[in-house]
Amino acid sequence: MDSSQSAAAGTGVNSGNGVMFPQANDTAAAATTAVAEEAKQNLNQVINSIQKTLGLIHQLNLTVSTFNAASQLPLLHRLNSLVSELDNMVKLSEKCNIQVPMEVLNLIDDGKNPDEFTKDVINSCIAKNQITKGKTDAFKGLRKHLLEELEMTFPDEVESYREIRAASAAEFKRQAQAQAQSMMPNGDVKVKNEV
């Protein structure tokens, strides 16, 4: 049992009779970690198969470029090895669930760097973020302007609105602090043991 498993096994909720029940968050986190590790292992197997296939193709290239009658048997052996490895690669790839955007494949087909796709997506996100920030700032300005106008027309109502708003903000802050105090560093919520 490694340290992450022993840490996960040691956490749980005491039922009061000495039996520990694992918390749902720990179980879900352990399952997610196991799935991620399995996916990583499957991906590494596919990568190794691709590298082996490239090596076999290189050997085939050398055999074909220096072909003579005596090299026919090694050529057939290498062709069979290549077919076998390609079959193995297909079987391994069925275990991997990797989705590559078509735009990336199109960039590769066009002979461009696929990192351009990432750069374009990030630039698009930045532009959308700036637009959203502009809208947010505009609404804040509108709210401020409306409050100023309302205060000149209805000063008593605006004062009571501000008091209600301040009380609501204080209550929200108190609840957020209480929740933060009951949170553990990993995001789980502390559970009080009832005796």
Tokens at residue 19, please? 């039996």
* Model confidence pLDDT, tens digit, residues 106-165: 988 999 898 888 899 999 999 999 999 999 999 999 999 999 999 999 999 999 999 999
Residues 87 and 120 in one domain: no
User: What pLDDT, in 10s, does the model give residues 20-71?
Assistant: 444 445 666 677 788 888 888 888 999 999 999 999 999 999 988 988 888 8
Residue that is last in its domain, among 98, 113, 139? 98
Across the range 157-185, mean pLDDT stands at 87
Do 84 and 117 fall within a single domain? no
- Nearest Cα neighbor of 86 from 54, 108, 59, 62 is 54
Residue 8 within a domain: no
Domain count, the chain: 2
Instruction: Write the DSSP assignment of 118-134 as a string of letters.
Output: HHHHHHHHHHHHHHHHH
Q: Is the pTM of this model over 0.85?
A: no
